[in-house]
């Protein structure tokens, strides 16, 4: 669509950054329907857009070539058809999700919880409000609520685990991870556990194994998204990246995320984000203790 407008010297992109938005699509449909007056087209602007009607009108002055207009009509029809196909897929997905049984939440584990995963007090269970604007390609129904219902846990509480990551886990493994006796078995199946050649109790070499596991790839992308996160997991990932380098840190963090997912689904433990400051304090304490032991040894 942008190419067709450029061929006609219509510089609408100078006033509207996204042609697929509400204003851009309204103007394109009006052009295909036969409207050529730039001032009438400019009145189709959405009130929320920053560009004024005058700016949009000046950007809509070009050469209306019949052959390019036909191309624009064909491209717009194909775009509308794809939107209809996506909408039908979402309707079918919603139908399937609502037909899935509700998985009851797993009861809490007796005894102290694992570091970073604990029985969350009620005041911590409320997630932080998302300040980012919703994406245009978001699913039309509340998939997050449906996934939390069928899986028995809200995995979006873990920083870095997004909606599509949970959807990948559910589509590949189902609502529970009962096929894996422990989180270590789960990490090994994902090929996120270290592979070592051991002889006589001595590690000879570390083996790099390539895998095509969709769940592992989704967790790797989730781990990489933590680079700028001001959370406990974000601080942990940056610390690993500084010590090990990006590839090893991504794999190690993906394994840690896999363990958290396993604990939430199979042990009923909630993730409580303690923040990046808490992780840095714990890291400094560990370094201080290490230096103290080293000084005593000398």
- Does a structural domain hold residue 128? no
Residues 143 and 249 in one domain: yes
- Does a structural domain hold residue 284? no
Residues 165 and 228 in one domain: yes
Chain segment 202-222, per-residue pLDDT in tens: 877 776 667 788 999 999 999
Q: Which of 67, 46, 147, 39 is nearest to 102 (CA)?
A: 147
Look at 6-15, 83-92, 108-117, 269-278 and tell me which has the smallest mean pLDDT: 108-117
- Does a structural domain hold residue 117? no
The whole-model pTM stands at 0.71
Residues 142 and 250 in one domain: yes
Chain segment 159-184, per-residue pLDDT in tens: 889 889 999 999 999 888 888 999 99
Residues 146 and 267 in one domain: yes
Residues 76 and 198 in one domain: no
Structure tokens at 277: 């400051």
Residues 161 and 251 in one domain: yes
Residues 89 and 149 in one domain: no
Q: How many structural domains does the chain have?
A: 2
250, 209 contact by CB (below 8 A): no
Q: How many CB atoms lie within 10 A of CB 234?
A: 21
Read off the pLDDT of each residue in 87-111 and give the average, rounded to a whole number.
79
- Which pLDDT score is estimated for 199? 79
pLDDT at 290 over 80: no
- Does a structural domain hold residue 211? yes
- Does a structural domain hold residue 129? no
Residues 151 and 236 in one domain: yes
- Does a structural domain hold residue 81? yes
Q: Choose the final residue of a domain: 96, 117, 146.
A: 96
Residue 206: domain span: 100-106+138-271
Residues 92 and 143 in one domain: no
pLDDT at 117 over 70: no
Residues 156 and 249 in one domain: yes
Residues 179 and 79 in one domain: no
- Which pLDDT score is estimated for 215? 92
Read off the pLDDT of each residue in 139-155 and give the average, rounded to a whole number.
85
Q: Choose the final residue of a domain: 63, 96, 129.
A: 96
HEC string for the chain: CHHHHHHCCCCHHHCCCCCCCHHHHHHHHHHHCCCCCHHHHHCCCCCCCCCCHHHHHHHCCCCCCHHHHHHHHHHHHHHHHHHHHHHHHHHHHHHHHHHCCCCCCCCCCCCCCCCCEECCCHHHCCCCCCCCCCCCCCCCCCHHHHHHHHHCCCHHHCCCCCHHHHHHHHHHHCCCCCCCCCHHHHHHHCCCCCEEEEECCEEEEEECCCCCCHHHHHHHHHHHHHHHCCCHHHHHHHHHHHHHCHHHHHHHHHHHHHHHHHHHHHCCCEECCCHHHHHHHHHHHHHHHHHHHHHHHC
Angle, helices 66-99/143-151, rounded to nearest 10 degrees? 30
- Does a structural domain hold residue 19? yes
- Mean pLDDT, the chain, rounded, equals 81
Give burial (CB, 10 Å; 0-12/13-18/19+) of 137. exposed
Look at 81-90, 231-240, 269-278 and tell me which has the smallest mean pLDDT: 269-278
- Does a structural domain hold residue 27? yes
Q: Choose the final residue of a domain: 45, 72, 96.
A: 96
Residues 30 and 90 in one domain: yes
């Amino acid at each position: 669509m942008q190419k067709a407008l450029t061929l006609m010297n219509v510089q609408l992109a100078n006033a509207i950054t996204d042609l697929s938005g509400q204003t851009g699509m309204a103007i394109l449909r009006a052009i295909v329907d036969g409207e050529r007056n730039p001032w009438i087209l400019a009145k189709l602007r959405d009130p929320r857009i920053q560009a004024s009607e005058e700016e949009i009108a000046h950007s809509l002055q070009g050469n209306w070539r019949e052959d390019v207009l036909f191309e624009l009509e064909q491209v717009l029809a194909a775009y509308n058809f794809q939107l209809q196909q996506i909408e039908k897929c979402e309707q079918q997905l919603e139908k399937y999700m609502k037909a899935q049984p509700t998985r009851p939440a797993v009861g809490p584990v007796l005894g102290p919880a694992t570091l970073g995963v604990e029985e969350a007090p009620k005041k911590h269970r409320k997630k932080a409000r998302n300040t980012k604007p919703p994406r245009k390609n978001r699913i039309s129904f509340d998939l997050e609520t449906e996934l939390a219902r069928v899986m028995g846990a809200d995995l979006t509480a873990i920083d870095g685990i997004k909606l599509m990551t949970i959807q990948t886990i559910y589509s590949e493994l189902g609502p529970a991870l009962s096929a894996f006796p422990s989180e270590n078995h789960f990490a090994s199946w994902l090929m996120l556990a270290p592979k070592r050649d051991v002889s006589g109790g001595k590690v000879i070499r570390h083996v790099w194994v390539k895998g095509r596991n969709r769940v592992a790839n989704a967790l790797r992308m989730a781990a990489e998204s933590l680079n700028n996160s001001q959370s406990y997991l974000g601080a942990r990932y940056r610390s690993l990246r500084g010590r090990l380098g990006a590839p090893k840190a991504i794999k190690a963090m993906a394994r840690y995320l896999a363990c958290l997912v396993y604990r939430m689904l199979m042990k009923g433990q909630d993730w409580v984000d303690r923040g990046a400051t808490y992780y840095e304090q714990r890291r400094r304490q560990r370094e201080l203790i290490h230096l103290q032991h080293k000084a005593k040894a000398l």
